[in-house]
Amino acid sequence: MLKALAVNWGWIVFRAILSALYGLAVFLFPGMSMVSFVLLFGLYAVTDGVIALAITIDVRALSGVGSLLFEALVRIGGGLFAMSSPRIVITFPRFFAGWAILTAVADAVVAIVLRRELAGEWPLPFASAVSAIVAVLLLLTPNTVGVPELKWLVGPYAMILAATQFALARRLRQLAEEMQAG
C-alpha cells in the first residue's frame, strides 16, 4: 500500500490544504451562525472524504485498502449527515465528537496498516490522538455552546490535521522520488 500512497502524495497535499482552509474559514467568519458552521463542516467533510475515496479507488487492489475505505466513508457519511439533518445543529458538539472518535479510529487503522511498510510513521498516529482528545473535550462541553466557543477547538483541530497531512505527504513524496530513482 505504501507504494500506491506514495504515488498519490499530491492528493494528500490537497487534503491538507483543504483542512487548513477549513480551519481558517472557521476563524474568518466571526458572525457565523450554528447552521452555517455545521454546513461548512459538512462541506469540508464530504470533500475530504471524496478525495480519500479517490485515493482508495486508486489502491483498491492492495491489502489494507479497507482501512482507507473506512476513513473515506466516515468523512463522507459525517459530512452528508451534518448537511442533511437540520436537528444536528442542536447537538453539534456531540455529533462532532462522535465524528472525531470515528476519525481517530480510522486514522489509527490506516497507521497500523502503513506501519507494516513504513518505519517511523508518526503523522497518522498523532492525528488519531488529536482527534481523540478533541472528541473528549467536545463531550465535556455543554451542548448549548455556540460557534464563538466551538471555533477555538474546531479551527486549531483542522489546522493540526492539515499539518500532519502535510508531514505525511512530504514523507510519501520522498518515498515516491526514491522509488522513481531506484
Query: 145 in helix, strand or coil?
Result: coil
**Distance in angstroms (rounded) separating the CA atoms of residues 65 and 47:** 19
DSSP structure class, residue 33: -
Of all helices (H) and strands (E), which one includes residue 100? helix 92-115
pTM for the predicted model, two decimal places: 0.92
Answer whether CATH 3.30.160 is correct for domain 2-181. Answer: no
> At what angle are helices 147-181 and 92-115 packed, to 10 degrees?
20
Q: For 162, what's the count of Cα atoms within 13 Å in the CB-facing half-sphere?
A: 17
- Spell out the per-residue pLDDT of the chain, length 182, in tens: 777 788 889 999 999 999 999 999 999 987 899 999 999 999 999 999 999 999 999 888 777 788 889 999 999 999 999 999 878 888 899 999 999 999 999 999 888 888 887 777 789 899 999 999 999 999 998 888 989 999 999 999 999 999 999 999 999 999 889 888 87
For every residue of 56-96, DSSP letters joined together read: HHHTTTSTTHHHHHHHHHHHHHHHHHHHH-GGGGTTHHHHH
